[in-house]
Structure 1
Amino acid sequence: MGFKAQSNQPGPEPASPGRAFFGKSLIQRKFVDAIARGVVTAGGWVIIASILAILFVIVAEIYPLFKKPSVSLISQFKTRSVPLAIGMDPYYDKVYAVEPDGIRFYSLQGKTFESKPELPDWQSARVTGISPSTENFPVLGLSDGRVYPVNIEFRPTYNSQSKRSIEPRLNAESPIQVRADGSPVTLLAHIKNEKGYQIAAQSGPGKVSLIRLRLRKTMMGTTRKTVARETISVPVQGEITAMVFG
């Protein structure tokens, strides 16, 4: 009975990834090194360019602060009567003018009168005071002792050729009586935010009527308006000539 003895001799160990890399030829290693150097250099230049671009934007934004203010004429138009306040849409296409008998819209492009929307409950009142607004929300003081808040909107529309046109629209609030004797309201001020607005109007000698309107959204998604009024006596000897909200 015999047997054969077998011997297993260890073969060459597989090269590790690091050893395989360093085992490449000199030309391949130089090629990889050149690519890595190029990537690092390009990344550095991109960072430098980004910093320079940020500095350029900062300088461009603050540069106008060092220039002298100037005024240039964009357009001109003729109103039907002397305007008490004006405002325009963001595209400089339409403009509204608060005039003694109401609000009129004009076209800056055509320099012509366009429309005079009817205001609800206007009756035969005249505008005797105005609290202007940069947000197209003027409050009018009327000759019959009321204040009349008006929200003016400019809606852009586009036709089939993508040509833009501006559609002005009036959303009038309910007028509020502040002078019981029906005398004209000549002095008033207001402030408006997303929660509502407040109106202060002189209601008599040394007296100011303060009207607060708050907007609240209900669970049904509708908006509820709450109006509060109070009269403030101002302890001054002379006549009130100006008011402003702080």
Structure 2
Amino acid sequence: MKINHNISALNAYRNLTINNTNTSKSMEKLSSGLRINRASDDAAGLAISEKMRSQIRGLDMAERNALDGISLIQTAEGALSSTHEILQRMRELSVQSANGTYKNADREEIQKEMVELTAEIDRIAKETEFNSSKLLTGGTGGSFAFQIGANSGQKVELQIGDMSSTGLKLNGVDVSTVGKAEGAITKIDAAIQQVSSERARLGAVQNRLEYTVDNLGTMSENLTAAESRIRDLDMALEMTNFTKNNIMNQAAQSMLAQANQLPQGVLQLLK
């Protein structure tokens, strides 16, 4: 019988330490709901999970970007709807002025309304904005790129033309004579076609963005499910492990106490 080294106690203590560590890990996992709380839990799984998280957050932001793009297009399209109505009224006035039953004095009154309607087209083009960006003035102001993906280069670009009277070639439109009124009809028809084409293009991009939003939502959902399978904890399984480790911990404590009593037998030999 040896007293300098209590091997049984050392073994019991080693197992107690292991069980304590396992119990602490189980408690950490159960309290966080995560299988991976640090790299040491699963280094490869953590790396994959973080990449997925980056993609998920990128997809969620891209979805919001696409929704902002839809809102921008709806703003522009709503303004062009008003422009269309004005152009239809201007065409109606031009046809009216081209009628030979009207005197030049009558046409002058019609011309006054034409001037006001043209000014309203310019006002709409100038004041239609989204987040302080002018939408209908053409040039670089009408250029937009929507980031619709989680990675670089995944963009949809949109160019909105100049929808002012200058862009629609309505400057100086005049219905003060029959001949000028007939010329105005031709100009306004071209302007109506130009606005129609612009609205059709906006509608096409809006439809694309709406499909993009649906697809991004699906991709984010699938990636979230995949990331959950890697990182999230199976609560039932871990609770089983925790219970086992807890029992083993109590057993190790009991065995350590008994092992520490073994050297006491030496005293019996000294009596």
Q: Identify whether the pair has TM-score above 0.5, normalized to the shorter chain.
A: no
Q: Which has the larger radius of gyration?
A: 2
Structure in which a larger fraction of residues adopt strand: 1
Could you state the TM-score of these two structures normalised by the residue count of structure 2? 0.19
Higher relative contact order (CA 8 A, sep 6+): 2
Query: Which structure shows the higher helix fraction?
Result: 2
